[in-house]
Amino acid sequence: MNPGNPPLTSTPSVTVAGYLAALDAQITTRRSISDRAWAWAFVTHALAVAEITDTALQDRSEVDGTEGRASGPGSTAAVWVSPHMSWAMDDLVDAGVRTTSPDLPSVDISSRPDVIAGALRRLIITADLTDESAPPLLREAVRAAGRRAVLAHEAYAGPLP
């Protein structure tokens, strides 16, 4: 599964661009492309899981109430993202990636879909880069992570711009 606990810090809310810039600052300092790919997959996965669990809690409270439920548990498109990112991390770890998880700043719930889509696009861009010094297995895992990110983006946020 996914190495590292998501140390979600309680910094003040920022804009989507500022949030992604903060993550960029953490992740682009990593030396290898595979480490960066893993970090973006980790970020995306953590955000998707947070959205899934939030939705589950929200729906539970609605079921307990008298108004009924407008949408069922897990009824967030993040359910398409979580497995692909989990599999991408598995592939990268199995190929030899050993890196620490980035710190995740707080983000407003309404901004979270944009952040997830943005993180997916950054993973796709990162996976497009080629590290000639990396072993073939690792290079293939990075490319596979990029393909998974494309699938997740199409399912979550539509076709790539």
Partner 1 sequence: MTAAHEHAVRARAEVQHAAFAGSRVAGEVLDARGRLLDAVAHHVEVAIGPVRVATWTAIRPVPPRTPTADPVPQAVVSWISTLRTAAHVSHEHVPDSSGSRDVHAAVVDLRAARELVRAASDLIATHRGLDGALLPGAPFPLAATDLGGLVTRAIDVAGAIASNEPWALRAREAGVPRRELDRALPLDSPLRVHTQALSRLLGDLASTIDTITVARPAIDTTDPAIEWRLRTDRIRARIEHHAANGRVSARTLHDIASLTLVVHHVLTTNHPHDAAHAVMVPSAAARLVAHLAPLRSAHPADPTIRADVLRLLDLAHPSTTPDTGDRVRILRAIEASVPTVDSAQLTATRLAATLTDAWVPARRLPGYLRSPHPPGRAVQPAPAFSPANSDGVDHARHPTLT
| Residues 132-161, interacting with partner 1 (CB under 8 A) | 154-155
Residue 129, Cα to own-chain centre: how many angstroms? 19
Gyration radius from the chain CA atoms: 16
Q: Per CB under 8 A, does 32 bind partner 1?
A: no
Stretch that binds partner 1, among 30-38, 48-56, 124-132, 137-145 (CB under 8 A): 48-56
| Residues 94-133, interacting with partner 1 (CB under 8 A) | 94, 98, 104, 106-109, 112
Question: Which CB sits closer to partner 1, 82 or 126?
Answer: 82
Question: Which CB sits closer to partner 1, 3 or 30?
Answer: 3
Q: Per CB under 8 A, does 56 bind partner 1?
A: yes
Q: In angstroms, rounded to a whole number, what is the distance separating the alpha carbons of residues 20 and 45?
A: 15
User: Least separation, in Å, of the C-beta of 129 and partner 1?
Assistant: 23
As a whole number of angstroms, the longest Cα–Cα distance in the chain is 60
Residue 104 forms beta bridges with which residues? 8
User: Least separation, in Å, of the C-beta of 93 and partner 1?
Assistant: 7
Residue 8 forms beta bridges with which residues? 104
Question: Which CB sits closer to partner 1, 43 or 130?
Answer: 43
- Find the angle CA(98)-CA(102)-CA(105) to the nearest 5 degrees: 165
> One-letter amino acid identity for 2?
N
Among positions 17, 21, 57, 137, the unique one binding partner 1 when judged by CB under 8 A:
57
